Amino acid sequence: MSAWEANVRRVEPYVPGEQPKEKNIIKLNTNENPYPPSPRVLAKAVELEKLRLYPDDKATLLVDEIAGYHGLKNSQVFVGVGSDDVLAMAFMTFFNSSKNILFPDITYSFYDVWAELLGIPYERPELDETFNIKAEDYYKENGGVVIANPNAPTGIARPLSFIEDIVKHNQDVVVIVDEAYVDFGGESSLPLIDTYDNLLVVRTFSKSRSMAGLRIGYAMGSEKLIKYMSDVKFSYNSYTMNMPSIILGAESLKDDEYFKETVAKVVATREWFKQEIEGLGFKVLPSSTNFLFITHEKISAKEIFEKAREEKIFVRYFNKPRIDNYLRVTIGTDDEMKAFLELLKKIV
Ligand code: PMP
């Protein structure tokens, strides 16, 4: 080992789902939306000549549009490069104490990576045997709380009253609610941000808005929270939001009809597919997201994952304690789900 390596900030990085290069793949492994973005987005050309200029560092067009959509002041909105960037900024800004931050043992697996990277101590209370969060685990003293609602990879959503109870018990720290999947059936905590100035609600354009490739995420909260986050962000990188993301993101919000229509299609496909596979002996957790977390009584998840992969159908398998016999299946188009269903019938 070279001497300089002793000073390297070493981390075990987050591993995102595979992005296969082959063609003709049914891709149900990274919770992307199977439908394209709104036609308004596709029609909105970005003048390439303008790319020689820096983008608006404040991303005003996008921030104003998000604020208007949710009925907030623009000073209550923070935007970033996907919600990953927004969440990382929030961890960096708000989790700066020697006490443990809290998030469930089974949740989005980037949380512990950021905590490790930033040297934030953390504790992961176990979900109960039905994969539900136990509120009492979050009543103790801590350095901050992070809850994905709906949770991932379980897909389970908890009601607003449940989140409010956790926030009520944690008014001395910042509580982050990650609502990456909320549009597919969860109840948003947004109505609480006027009452609790320590509550940060994080959203993304990657799932329900079909724009994972552009990388747009945002956070909403009290003006104080947003100001603190912005101060950290502008001390790190002024120009995180690129020009096409600002313009096309703002455009997406102007087409609510298309947004609601595609979300409804995904939800309908999810419920149909769930019923079908329950008939094949799968246990399916209740999902309020664009994916299902499934397990079979007789065939191992790993075996199904490998067989599906051979047939060019990609789903997500996590080789982790408690969930290593589950598969996370993103909801694709009806045709894609029919193809997967046929394969599952054969395997079963
Ligand atoms: N939160 C959760 C719970 C997620 O599953 C994801 C998707 N990997 C993200 C945040 C990040 O999504 P993005 O950076 O594309 O907004």
Identity of residue 246: I
Output the CA 157–ligand 1 centroid distance in Å.
16
The finding on whether 336 has its CB within 6 A of some atom of ligand 1 is: no
Residue with tokens 């987005």: 41
Domain chopping of the chain, boundaries: 18-36+256-347, 51-252
Q: Give pLDDT tens digits for 47-94.
A: 899 999 999 999 999 999 999 999 999 999 999 999 999 999 999 999
Ligand 1 atom closest to the CA of 217, numbered from 1: 16
Q: Which of 15, 103, 106, 108 to mutate to test the pocket of ligand 1 (most atoms within 8 A of CB)?
A: 108
Predicted confidence (pLDDT) at residue 145 exceeds the cutoff of 90 = yes
Q: Give pLDDT tens digits for 185-208.
A: 999 999 999 999 999 999 999 999
Output the CA 178–ligand 1 centroid distance in Å.
8
DSSP 151-202: -TTT-----HHHHHHHHHTTTTS-EEEE-TTGGGT---SGGGTTT-TTEEEE
The finding on whether 151 has its CB within 6 A of some atom of ligand 1 is: no
Q: Which two tokens stand for residue 319?
A: 């080789």
The finding on whether 106 has its CB within 6 A of some atom of ligand 1 is: no
The finding on whether 206 has its CB within 6 A of some atom of ligand 1 is: yes
Ligand 1 atom closest to the CA of 152, numbered from 1: 3
Output the CA 280–ligand 1 centroid distance in Å.
30
Fold of 51-252: Aspartate Aminotransferase; domain 2 (3.40.640)
CATH code for the structural domain at 18-36+256-347: 3.90.1150.10
Average pLDDT over residues 169-195: 98
Contact in structure between 309 and 18 (CB atoms under 8 Å): no
pTM of the model: 0.98
DSSP 287-340: -SSSEEEEEESSS-HHHHHHHHHHTTEE-EE--STTTTT-EEEE---HHHHHHH
The finding on whether 83 has its CB within 6 A of some atom of ligand 1 is: yes
Output the CA 83–ligand 1 centroid distance in Å.
6
Output the CA 179–ligand 1 centroid distance in Å.
9
Classify strands 101-102 and 26-27 as parallel, antiparallel or unpaired.
Answer: unpaired
Q: Give pLDDT tens digits for 296-339.
A: 999 999 999 999 999 999 999 999 999 999 999 999 999 999 99
- Which residues, 6+ apart, have CB-to-CB distance to 98 below 8 Å? 121, 143
Question: What is the per-residue pLDDT for 45?
Answer: 87
Question: What is the per-residue pLDDT for 221?
Answer: 98
Q: Give pLDDT tens digits for 19-28.
A: 999 989 999 9
Q: Give pLDDT tens digits for 90-133.
A: 999 999 999 999 999 999 999 999 999 999 999 999 999 999 99
Residue 340: pLDDT band (50, 70, 90) is very high
